[in-house]
């Protein structure tokens, strides 16, 4: 609900992707997904990828990255390491070889700093194939990289010339 189709439970996110915590709980509960404020506190604190952040007084919550909605996250630009990784599957390789990595339904292409994370991302769809991204070269060529609050590297497009299988 904090990243994709919040309207399915009648929830509205603000331009920066924040939802009101009470409203989130009420709307999800009304739509058959009940949870408490305590559940939410626990999820935010223990989520494996630190996907969510509360505001200072914990009345609002948002996802740190991964949205398919248009939201302004005010992401920090950052200089990437020389190499980043992207996990995918075999059936996409031909298209990726032609047009590079594109955002599909999300706001950015998601890249990982370590091979293991990229393998996990790829394995959501089958036998993982990990692509190596020449992120340093991209950066020196003017491509902008962002680092989300939960340390996911994001960019708009990876042209095929910067990819190594």
- What residues line the site for ligand HQG (CB under 6 A)? 49, 51, 66, 88, 92, 95-96, 99, 101-102, 104-106, 110, 121, 125, 152
Spatial CA neighbour of 8 closest among 34, 37, 28, 36: 28
Smallest gap from Cβ 57 to ligand HQG, in A, equals 25
Residue number with CB closer to ligand HQG (26 or 69): 69
Residue number with CB closer to ligand HQG (125 or 143): 125
Angle at 160 between CA 165 and CA 90, to 5 degrees: 45
State how far the Cα of 91 lies from the Cα of 81, in Å rounded to an integer: 28
Residue number with CB closer to ligand HQG (59 or 102): 102
Residues 6 or more apart whose Cβ sits within 8 Å of residue 20 = 59, 60
Smallest gap from Cβ 125 to ligand HQG, in A, equals 6
Residue number with CB closer to ligand HQG (18 or 52): 52
Smallest gap from Cβ 105 to ligand HQG, in A, equals 6
Spatial CA neighbour of 37 closest among 57, 13, 65: 57
Smallest gap from Cβ 159 to ligand HQG, in A, equals 10
Residue number with CB closer to ligand HQG (26 or 54): 54
Smallest gap from Cβ 35 to ligand HQG, in A, equals 18
């Amino acid at each position: 609900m904090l990243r994709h189709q919040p309207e399915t439970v009648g929830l509205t996110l603000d331009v920066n992707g924040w939802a009101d915590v009470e409203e989130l709980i009420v709307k999800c509960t009304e739509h058959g997904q009940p949870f408490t404020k305590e559940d939410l506190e626990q999820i935010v604190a223990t989520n494996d990828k630190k996907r969510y952040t509360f505001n200072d007084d914990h009345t609002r919550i948002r996802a740190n990255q991964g949205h398919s909605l248009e939201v302004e996250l005010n992401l920090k630009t950052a200089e990437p390491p020389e190499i980043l990784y992207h996990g995918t599957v075999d059936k996409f390789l031909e298209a990726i070889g032609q047009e590079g990595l594109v955002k599909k339904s999300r706001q950015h292409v998601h890249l990982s700093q370590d091979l293991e994370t990229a393998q996990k991302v790829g394995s959501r769809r089958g036998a993982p194939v990990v692509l190596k991204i020449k992120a340093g070269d991209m950066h020196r060529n003017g491509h902008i990289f962002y680092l989300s609050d939960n340390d996911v590297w994001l960019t708009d497009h990876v042209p095929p010339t910067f990819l190594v299988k």
